[in-house]
Structure 1
Amino acid sequence: MTPAAEVGLRRILAVVDLLMDAVIDAVDEETLVPVLLPLLLGAVPGDSIVWSPHAGTTERPLTVPAGLLSQDIRDAFDREAAADSLVLHTTVGPGTPMRRSTLQTRREFHALAAYPDVYRPLGAEQQLAMSFPAGRADEPPRKVCVVISRDGSDFSDDDVATAALLRSRLTRVLTRLAPAGPAPPPVTRRESAVLTLLARGLTNQQIAHRLAISPRTVDKHLEHVYAKLRVGSRVEAANAWLTRDAAAVRPVR
Structure 2
Amino acid sequence: MAGEAGLRRMLAVVDLLIDAVDEESLLPALLPLLLRAVPGDSVVWTPHPDPVGRPLTLPAGLLGRDAPKTFACVSSPDPLVTRTTSGSGTSGSGAPMLRSALRTHGQYHALAAYADVYRVIGAEHQLAMAFPAGYVGGAPRRVCVAINRSGKGGARDFADHDLATAALLRARLGHALNRLAPPTPELVTDREAAVLDLVARGLTNQQVAHRLAISPRTVDKHLEHAYAKLRVGGRVEAANAWRARALL
TM-score (normalised: structure 1): 0.64
Equivalent positions of 1:105-184 (< 5 A) are 105-135=104-134, 140-152=139-151, 153-180=156-183
CA distance in 2, matches of 1:72, 1:27: 32
On the 8 A contact 1:15/1:166 being kept in 2, the answer is no
On the 8 A contact 2:124/2:150 being kept in 1, the answer is yes
Indicate the residue corresponding to 1:69 in structure 2: 63
CA shift for structure 1 position 13: 3.4
- Alpha carbons of structure 1 residues 9 and 82: separation in structure 2 relative to 1, 3 Å: same
Once the two structures are superposed, what CA deviation does each residue of 1:151-207 show, in whole Å capped at 9, x if it has no partner? 1210010000000000011011111111235799xxxxxxxxxxxxxxxxxxxxxxx
CA shift for structure 1 position 73: 2.2
Indicate the residue corresponding to 1:20 in structure 2: 14
1:58 counterpart = 2:51: yes
More displaced 10-residue stretch of structure 1: 155-164 or 85-94: 85-94
Indicate the residue corresponding to 1:220 in structure 2: none
- Alpha carbons of structure 1 residues 172 and 9: separation in structure 2 relative to 1, 3 Å: farther
- Large movers: runs of 4+ above 4 Å: 181-184
SS of residue paired to 2:134 = coil
- The sequence identity of aligned pairs, in percent, is 56
Q: Which amino acid aligns with 1:107?
A: G
Q: Which amino acid aligns with 2:160?
A: D
On the 8 A contact 2:13/2:37 being kept in 1, the answer is no
1:87 counterpart = 2:81: yes
CA shift for structure 1 position 23: 3.0
CA shift for structure 1 position 76: 1.7
CA shift for structure 1 position 15: 4.0
CA distance in 2, matches of 1:165, 1:30: 23
CA distance in 2, matches of 1:132, 1:65: 22
CA distance in 2, matches of 1:181, 1:133: 12
- Alpha carbons of structure 1 residues 164 and 11: separation in structure 2 relative to 1, 3 Å: farther
CA distance in 1, matches of 2:14, 2:157: 28
Structure having the higher Rg: 1
SS of residue paired to 2:2 = helix
CA shift for structure 1 position 19: 1.8
On the 8 A contact 2:131/2:174 being kept in 1, the answer is yes
SS of residue paired to 2:144 = strand
CA distance in 1, matches of 2:114, 2:99: 13
Q: Which amino acid aligns with 2:51?
A: T
- Alpha carbons of structure 1 residues 182 and 146: separation in structure 2 relative to 1, 3 Å: closer
More displaced 10-residue stretch of structure 1: 44-53 or 56-65: 56-65
On the 8 A contact 2:47/2:142 being kept in 1, the answer is yes
How many corresponding residue pairs?
Answer: 178
SS of residue paired to 1:71 = coil
Q: Which amino acid aligns with 2:66?
A: D
On the 8 A contact 2:17/2:173 being kept in 1, the answer is no
CA distance in 2, matches of 1:110, 1:20: 35
- Alpha carbons of structure 1 residues 176 and 9: separation in structure 2 relative to 1, 3 Å: farther
Equivalent positions of 1:183-202 (< 5 A) are none
On the 8 A contact 1:26/1:32 being kept in 2, the answer is yes
SS of residue paired to 1:148 = strand
CA shift for structure 1 position 120: 0.7
CA shift for structure 1 position 68: 0.6
Gaps of 5+ in 1: 1-6, 185-229, 231-253
